[in-house]
């Protein structure tokens, strides 16, 4: 087995681990919802007794209630860590097999971007409990890895002369980190929209009791804002670094290449979002939809621009001009 083949095998292993994590996170949300429902039922029963005496009579029952151990959450976090580590090793082996930095095409960008999203989730979870994001972060990264393995995969080879530069590490590396951060922010905004609509009495979301186990819409919005602020700074450096690299490689800072245009579109959308929220008081659903639109632009820049347009950034390896 070659190094490249081992790398691919480890990506499949990471995908399997993340799929298990996705199921475990979903089970954890469901069980926490059941525990909360049982607690509400007991509270209503105690309220019918009435008075301090009733409360005292109900105390033993409350103390004898089963403790929420959250075994599913422990399994989910363990398998997420395992999947992330397997993916990291796969990325390193891919770089060794190719003899370069392992993010020069769509397949490798998918691997590293997924790893960053997982690393951001796990890193934040060390300081505060954000396991409620787990099902969605692992779900998205599992989808991305599936696409990478089945659609974007290319053999591990060298790169074009224009990419043989330290800017490949800086410019593309920072772009991947920004994309991973934007991914987690997108998840928080989608949850914000769902929670907000449920709190408003949406009949469609009336049965989605698991939404009661995530923070309120305001907390989710604040979390998304923090992630997007970090991602925006990184994306700003991405554009600046890309312009400097373009001048070194092609003799001009800006040439209205499709990738350059869409990178700037992403910057404008997120700049407008941050400006509207901080100075114009935009909040709630409007701010969340801004984030959704911004992330849609990020995805199109990664997929549509690479596959539908021909330009100097056609390095996907999936079309004749790449």
Query: pLDDT by residue (tens digit) across 235-283?
Result: 999 999 989 988 887 788 888 888 899 999 999 999 999 999 988 778 8
Contact 121, 76 (CB under 8 A): no
Q: Is residue 315 part of a domain?
A: no
pLDDT digits (tens, 9 = 90+) for 277-314: 988 778 889 999 999 999 999 999 988 888 887 766 66
Q: Looking at the domain assignment, is residue 319 inside a domain?
A: no
Looking at the structure of the chain, the number of domains it has is: 1
d(CA 13, CA 21): 12
The answer to whether the beta carbons of residues 106 and 306 sit under 8 Å apart is yes
Residue 321 lies in a domain: no
| Structure tokens given for 19 | 């799929």
In a domain, 320, yes or no: no
Distance of CA 97 to the CA centre of its chain: 27
Q: Is 268 in contact with 279 (CB distance < 8 Å)?
A: no
Q: What is the mean pLDDT of the chain?
A: 85
Cβ atoms of 111 and 145 closer than 8 Å:
yes
pLDDT tens per residue, range 122-177: 999 999 999 999 999 999 999 999 999 999 999 988 877 767 778 878 888 999 99
Q: What b/e sequence results for 279-313 when a residue is b if at least 16 CB atoms lie within 10 Å of its CB, and e otherwise?
A: eeebeebebbebbeebbebbeebbbebbeebebbb
Q: Contact, 152 vs 114, CB < 8 A?
A: no
318 belongs to a structural domain: no
Secondary structure class of 213 (helix, strand, coil): helix
pLDDT at 284: 87
Domain that holds residue 157: 3-308
User: Quick one: how far is CA 169 from the chain centroid?
Assistant: 21
In this structure, is residue 103 part of a structural domain? yes
Task: Please check whether residue 313 lies inside any domain of the structure.
Answer: no
Q: Is residue 322 part of a domain?
A: no
């Amino acid at each position: 087995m070659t190094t490249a083949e081992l790398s691919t095998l480890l990506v499949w292993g990471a995908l399997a681990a993340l799929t298990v994590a996705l199921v475990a996170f979903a089970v954890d949300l469901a069980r926490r919802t059941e525990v909360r429902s049982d607690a509400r039922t007991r509270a209503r029963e105690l309220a019918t007794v009435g008075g301090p005496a009733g409360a005292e009579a109900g105390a033993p029952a409350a103390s004898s209630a089963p403790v929420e151990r959250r075994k599913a959450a422990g399994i989910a976090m363990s398998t997420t860590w395992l999947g992330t580590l397997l993916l990291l090793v796969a990325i390193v082996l891919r770089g060794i097999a190719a003899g370069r930095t392992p993010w020069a095409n769509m397949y490798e960008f998918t691997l590293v971007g997924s790893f960053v999203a997982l690393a951001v989730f796990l890193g934040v979870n060390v300081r505060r409990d954000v396991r409620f994001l787990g099902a969605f972060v692992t779900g998205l990264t599992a989808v991305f890895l599936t696409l990478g393995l089945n659609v974007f995969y290319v053999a591990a080879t060298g790169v074009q002369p224009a990419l043989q530069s330290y800017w490949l590490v800086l410019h593309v590396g920072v772009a991947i980190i920004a994309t991973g951060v934007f991914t987690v922010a997108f998840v928080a905004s989608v949850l914000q929209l769902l929670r907000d609509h449920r709190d408003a009495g949406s009949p469609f979301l009336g049965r989605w009791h698991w939404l009661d186990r995530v923070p309120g819409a305001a907390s989710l919005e604040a979390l998304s804002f923090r992630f997007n602020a970090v991602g925006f700074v990184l994306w700003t450096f991405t554009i600046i670094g890309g312009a400097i690299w373009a001048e070194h490689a092609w003799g001009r800072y800006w040439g209205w290449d499709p990738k350059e245009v869409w990178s700037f579109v992403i910057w404008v959308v997120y700049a407008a979002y941050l400006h509207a929220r901080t100075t114009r008081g935009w909040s709630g659903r409007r701010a969340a939809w801004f984030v959704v639109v911004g992330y849609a632009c990020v995805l199109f820049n990664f997929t549509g621009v690479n596959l539908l347009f021909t330009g100097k950034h056609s390095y996907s390896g999936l079309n004749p001009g790449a």
